[in-house]
Amino acid sequence: MIVSVAKETELKENRVALSPDGVKELVAKGFSCILEKDAGLNSYFTNEAYEAAGAKIVSKDEAFSTADVLLKVAPPVSDEVKLMKNGATLLSFMYASTNPELVAALTTKGITSFSVDAIPRISRAQKMDALSSQANLGGYKAVILAANYLGKIFPMLTTAAGTIRPSKVVIMGAGVAGLQAIATAKRLGAIVEVSDIRPETKEQVESLGGKFIELKSDESVQIEGGYVKGVSADFLLKQQELIAKHIAQADIVITTALVPGKKAPMLITEEMVKSMKFGSVILDMAVKQGGNCAISEFNNTVVKYGVTIIGEPNLPSLLPLNASELYSKNIVAFLTHLADKDKFFLDRDEEITKGSLITLNGEVVHPSVNINIEAAATN
């Protein structure tokens, strides 16, 4: 089975799907590995390092057209799918429920596809959980990036000239990214306050030294597998009212709230931004899905009402070496769960396979992907 690693073409995407160590592991298991030339350079992996690990360096056309299995980080665009051979298999982030053009292109080529963002978050799939590995790095980088724009230090500092008060950081969402952001901000010496609508996160927040901003859930809050699947507009309004005073006193606000397959919930209104201190910073980690802040801008850092608002959509890509190393471990674990060197097992009753399989030989099989293939293909 030929496993191919494509060079990422999405704007600002510096990661690569497989590290040299990942190549070495797959080759040891009997897979053949090819790599599009320079695919790893932005992650600080040279072509020579891949060759030493057992990969063959090839052109873009060969990387796509000869692959039995194509590995990517970002979803391939339609023109890239056209380069794939009929009946090949794709493993990448796909976000299939909101990416009908990609799904339509895959059906046209008879592609079998697995989406790493759809891997069930169960204990035996932890080694494959790319969402968590990347969010962990994103939470760290969010704090570092926000600190870079803040005109003051995080910790309390007592000097002969007087005492500097510690910065206050408000983090909205205590998932994987939020928890890492809490830990990072605390290590840098900030006072950290955290808002999350899941009461079970309170203990985790407090164990990291954060102060939990408590808001009681109501029947509109839909939680599945520990993750929020939906909330009502009324509940969001209550949350905004509760956190408004905390945001007004904050030096940095980091928002991490996402609802899979839907627009990100609006947590910070324009009026709340106006209430913030001059020189404070907002980092909107949900900007790629519409944003948690009403006036954040995708892929832009702007200053509005004296507040710097960072709309960086791909924080893990700013740490491409570590992000690629972790993603590679995830993808190797995922691939070797699904296949050996000769074939895919495709047990559609097995939980990980069932949850992540989007198309099978070009047929849409995932229940969350409810799209009009013909309409998508025409666009």
pLDDT tens string 92-102? 999 998 999 99
Lowest-confidence segment of 132-141, 157-166, 237-246 by average pLDDT: 237-246
pLDDT digits (tens, 9 = 90+) for 139-185: 999 999 999 999 999 999 999 999 999 999 999 999 999 999 999 99
**What local confidence, expressed as pLDDT, does residue 63 receive?**
97
> What count of Cα atoms within 13 Å lies in the side-chain half-sphere of residue 354?
6
Q: Is the pLDDT at 275 greater than 80, yes or no?
A: yes
**What local confidence, expressed as pLDDT, does residue 228 receive?**
56
Report d(CA 269, CA 267) in Å as an integer.
7
SS3 for 73?
coil
Burial classification of residue 184, based on how many CB atoms lie within 10 Å of its CB (0-12 exposed, 13-18 middle, 19 or more buried): buried
- Over residues 311-317, mean pLDDT: 97
Question: Going by C-beta distance under 8 Å and a sequence separation of 6 or more, which residues neighbour residue 223?
Answer: 198, 229
Place of tokens 């070009």: 362
> What count of Cα atoms within 13 Å lies in the side-chain half-sphere of residue 331?
32
Burial classification of residue 261, based on how many CB atoms lie within 10 Å of its CB (0-12 exposed, 13-18 middle, 19 or more buried): middle
> What count of Cα atoms within 13 Å lies in the side-chain half-sphere of residue 308?
16
Cα torsion through 89, 93, 97, 101, rounded to 10: -70
Token representation of residue 29: 């298991």
What are the φ/ψ torsions at residue 75 (nearest 5 degrees)?
Answer: -60, 140
**What local confidence, expressed as pLDDT, does residue 372 receive?**
53
Question: Going by C-beta distance under 8 Å and a sequence separation of 6 or more, which residues neighbour residue 133?
Answer: 323, 326, 327, 329, 330
- Contact between 100 and 371 (Cβ < 8 Å): yes
Token representation of residue 197: 């609508």
Q: Is the pLDDT at 224 greater than 90, yes or no?
A: no
Q: Where would I find the H helices in the chain?
A: 20-28, 47-53, 60-65, 78-83, 100-108, 130-149, 176-187, 202-207, 233-248, 270-275, 320-338, 351-356, 373-378
Report d(CA 375, CA 293) in Å as an integer.
32
Q: Is the pLDDT at 368 greater than 80, yes or no?
A: yes
- Contact between 90 and 68 (Cβ < 8 Å): no
For the annotated catalytic residues, the residue numbers are: 121, 126, 129, 132, 227
> What is the distance between the terminal CA atoms of the chain, rounded to a whole angstrom?
34
State the pairing for strand pair 191-195/227-230: unpaired
Report d(CA 234, CA 223) in Å as an integer.
17
State the pairing for strand pair 227-230/222-224: antiparallel
Mean pLDDT of the chain: 92
Please give the domain boundaries of the chain with CATH numbers for all domains. Answer: 2-128+320-378 (3.40.50.720), 135-318 (3.40.50.720)
Report d(CA 350, CA 352) in Å as an integer.
6
Q: What is the DSSP secondary structure assignment for residue 48, as one 8-state letter?
A: H
Q: Is the pLDDT at 256 greater than 60, yes or no?
A: yes
Q: Is the pLDDT at 73 greater than 80, yes or no?
A: yes
Report d(CA 76, CA 118) in Å as an integer.
16
